[in-house]
Amino acid sequence: MKVKSLGRKVGPAAVVFSLTFVGVLALVPRGDKADDALVPVVVATRSLSDGTSTEGVRQGSAVRMVPEKARAAGAISSLAGLPSGVLAYDHVVGQQLLSSSFAVSRVRSLGAGFVAVSVKLDPQRWVGPWLEAGRFVDVFDTNEAGPTLAASRAVILSVPDPSDLKPSDDAIVSLGVPKDSLVDVLLAAANNRVWLVGR
């Protein structure tokens, strides 16, 4: 009698437990070998700005193993496989590096229609926009009649370290400017009238 009574008490609980256990097992993926396959990809380990050299990208990235289905088309699989050139656009932490992430040169990374030009400027004409506004600037010709826009959305490609400059020091600033604005920029530069304004 005691056995039957115990069976009546424990039986329903045991059935419920068994059904729950079977249900949980049914929900757990069994794992398809093809789905579980991991492949190497190069990802950014810190923020990388466009124009970063291949060596700079190499120092700011690492190889990670990811599921094959998560691998982006054109993803690079080794640090040695990074193309020579510069990043064509910004990358964030964890973003995969693709063959299309690179351009041959900084100017090429801007897209068609840009050319590189260097101008000599004193610090007040470029440091503010560079430090505060970032790469994109408008180039003004400060002629006697008043400032006129020589180039819109030019890109500062390279500058010296502002902390090393004195107020009276001139510096060479490299710009990427639209081809159709090149003549106006050169004219302003030839007459020492270039002034950069941050966007």
Q: What residue spans define the domains of the chain? A: 35-107, 112-198
User: Helix count (H) and strand count (E) of the chain?
Assistant: 6, 9
Quick one: average pLDDT of 19-45?
63
Model confidence at 121, pLDDT cuts 50, 70, 90, reads: confident
pTM for the full predicted model: 0.54
Q: Per-residue confidence at 134, pLDDT binned at 50, 70, 90? A: low
- pLDDT at res. 199: 72
3-state SS, residue 79: helix
Alpha helices, H only, the chain: 2-27, 33-36, 54-59, 106-110, 127-128, 182-190
* Residue that wins the pLDDT comparison between 132 and 70: 70
Residue whose C-alpha is closest to residue 54's, from 101, 112, 116, 117: 101
Nearest to 119 by CA among 146, 145, 142: 142
Residue 94 — pLDDT band, cuts 50, 70, 90?
Answer: very high
Topology given in CATH for the domain delimited by 35-107 = Type Iii Antifreeze Protein Isoform Hplc 12 (3.90.1210)
Which sign does the torsion angle of CA 38, 42, 44, 50 carry?
A: negative
Contact in structure between 119 and 170 (CB atoms under 8 Å): no
Q: What band does 124 get if pLDDT is binned at 50, 70 and 90?
A: confident
Confidence (pLDDT) at 186: 93
Residue 174 has pLDDT above 50, yes or no: yes
Question: How far is residue 154's CA from residue 116's CA, in Å, rounded to a whole number?
Answer: 10
Arithmetic mean of pLDDT, 147-153 = 92
